[in-house]
A and B are shown apart, each in its own frame.
Chain A
Amino acid sequence: MIREKSIIQGNEQLAPGFWKMRLVAPEIAATVKPGQFINVKIAQCKAPLFRRPFTVFRCLDLDKDRPGIEVVYEVVGRGTRMMSAMGKGDELDIIGPLGRGFKRRDDKRVHILVGSGVGLPALFMLGEELSLAAGRGELELVIMLDAKTKERLILEEEFGSLNGKTLVSIHDGAYGYHGYVTEMLRAYIAEEDIAADCAIYACGPELMFKALVPICSQYNIPAQICMERNMGCGIGACLSCVCRVDKKAVMKHRDVRSSHVQFEDAGSSGYALVCCDGPVFNIDEVIFDE
């Protein structure tokens, strides 16, 4: 984890409301892992006061072999609106890489990425890694992209360039599968008969994760999901980004002593910190609807 004064190399609109920002960030680019994020100080003044977290979409070599990173973001409020007005040469104060990212399930043959809306960028670096392995014939990659409307579908081309099968679901049926990505996923697993040999990696709204739960438990499929919370520090100090977790599942998946999960003595659940125990969790660890 380091703090970098990063220079913006580019900031372009991908679709109405969606932007991609390219940053010079050699040290972060050198160490970031799929699913990790950066915490960005957007304003020089006091509004907005806090940093805003964004997943690293991908690393790339900028001109003159300088390593950089890209983030893809949706304009949803003050901070992201200010970001969209920034341009080449502007400076951003960023801290990263932060959090615990995805863990590849090398014991499985079929790897399915399930992403919706602005959750998609969090899956791309993992997709790149899996794509390399798929190219060597080590596994199969399936990519499911979801959006409410066709206009809001982002990164289709980028994901389409990976060694995998890309499927699209659009809620209003204007393109691809008509409906939610979780319905498409359920149908796909049944048709292809892959339940016993697949792993899911997902990022999107919590409603999507909740729809994944019955699918994963019915077929006993391991899934990792990338959670979001409002963050204060982003580094595990302020205890504000909690996610309720199931004690048994946490004990199964991780070394509790090196995590920040706090249980009460007798209880069967506790709180994990999204910024450092996550943002990626195993789906059975998370207790939704607190």
Chain B
Amino acid sequence: MDNSPNLCVQLAPGHSAGLSLSNPVMIASGIFGYGEEYAQLVEIQKLGAVVCKGTTLAPRRGNPQPRLVETASGLLNSVGLENIGVEALIREEAPKWASWQVPVIVNVAGETIEEYVEVVTRLEGVQGISGIELNISCPNVSAGGAEFGMNPEIAARVTAAVKGASSLPLMVKLSPNVTDIRAIALAVQEAGADAISLINTLKGMAFAVDKGKPRLGNITGGLSGPAIKPVALRMVYEVAEVVRVPVVGCGGIASASDALEFIMCGASAVQVGTANFTDPGIGLTIVKGIEEFMREKKVERLTDLAGLAH
């Protein structure tokens, strides 16, 4: 008899095609690029899903260097949405994904609602893409991102516009740089989000005293890594309390126990970002750890653990 615990999750129960994952561990956007770099080091096909780098309509060169500094238990980055653009993604990357077992979710970014809509319109019908993650929260590009995610009405407007233009399951990724994350979460849910992921990076800064200037070329950047986990967990807890759609937790997750904290606080799945840089195998280690925990505690389905905290 097979008594291995069931780690499957459905992230878009309200969507006709759904977004079904074999386990709840995804790789966060901006970490694995378009997947194949890490495929040389890790069995990425065994992951729950991979979210690709934030993609805009035209290619973007991104921010000046330095783009990355290590901080206390964290990482400040100001990559600034450098990416190859949606056309190159469709031409060069998506065909590879079509033969993959692991679902690939495309993270979409833009500077205007029209740009978001145009990107997802072009992604319609492209083989190899299992879902959209709407990045309304990138704090790096001064002209883009942040504004959409900071205001419930604008967040709802871009969500609704994209929902209307795309037949793919839609996950909306929230920015933590807001006063009341629940208001934003409710707004995007009402506007048609199939799932909500959070958090993106927290806006931060580091200064080089010896040089008398900021450490990042872009002056400010986004903070990620273990340092932000308590903030992320609190926000996931708050959002899961008020929304009906599945919540995907992200921020500083670096072990199975970290992931379980998010799941018990209401997340249906998790995304792992920064921790991959230190340990490229961390995603699969976390899957194994969750499975062991469930076995030990005789939990049959992952969904039985969801939201124990509420």
Contact = CB atoms under 8 A, between A and B. Distances in A.
B145 interface: no
Nearest to A240: B68
Contacts of A49: 70, 73-75, 225-226, 274, 277-278
A290 B30 CA distance: 23
Contact of A239 (B41, B58, B82): B82
> Chain B CB within 10 Å — which of A51, A237, A290 has the most?
A237
B64 A233 contact: no
Which secondary structure dominates where chain B touches chain A?
A: loop
Contacts of A3: 41, 280-281
A10 interface: no
Nearest to A257: B92
B82 A95 contact: no
A95 B280 contact: yes
A263 B61 contact: yes
A48 interface: yes
A225 B254 CA distance: 36
A49 B75 CA distance: 9
Contact of A271 (B62, B75, B280): B62
Contacts of A265: 58-59
B79 A270 contact: no
A15 interface: no
> Chain A CB within 10 Å — which of B53, B65, B276, B279 has the most?
B65
B84 interface: yes
A51 B225 CA distance: 14
Contact of B66 (A46, A230, A262, A263): A230
B210 interface: no
Nearest to A230: B68
Nearest to B42: A3
A237 B38 contact: yes
Question: What are the 10 tightest A-B residue pairs by CB atom distance, in nearest-first order?
Answer: A237-B33, A240-B68, A237-B37, A240-B67, A264-B61, A232-B277, A235-B37, A239-B82, A236-B37, A242-B65
Given A95-B280, A242-B65, A263-B61, 15 more contacts: A3-B41, A49-B70, A49-B274, A50-B277, A229-B65, A235-B38, A238-B30, A238-B31, A239-B53, A262-B61, A262-B82, A262-B84, A264-B59, A264-B60, A270-B61
Interface of B: 30-33, 37-38, 40-41, 53, 58-62, 64-70, 72-75, 77, 79, 82-84, 217, 225-226, 254, 274, 276-281
Interface of A: 1-3, 41, 46-51, 93, 95, 229-244, 262-265, 267, 270-271, 290
22 contacts: A1-B40, A41-B278, A49-B73, A49-B75, A49-B225, A49-B274, A50-B278, A230-B69, A230-B70, A232-B68, A238-B33, A239-B33, A239-B62, A240-B79, A242-B67, A262-B61, A262-B62, A263-B61, A264-B59, A264-B60, A271-B62, A290-B217
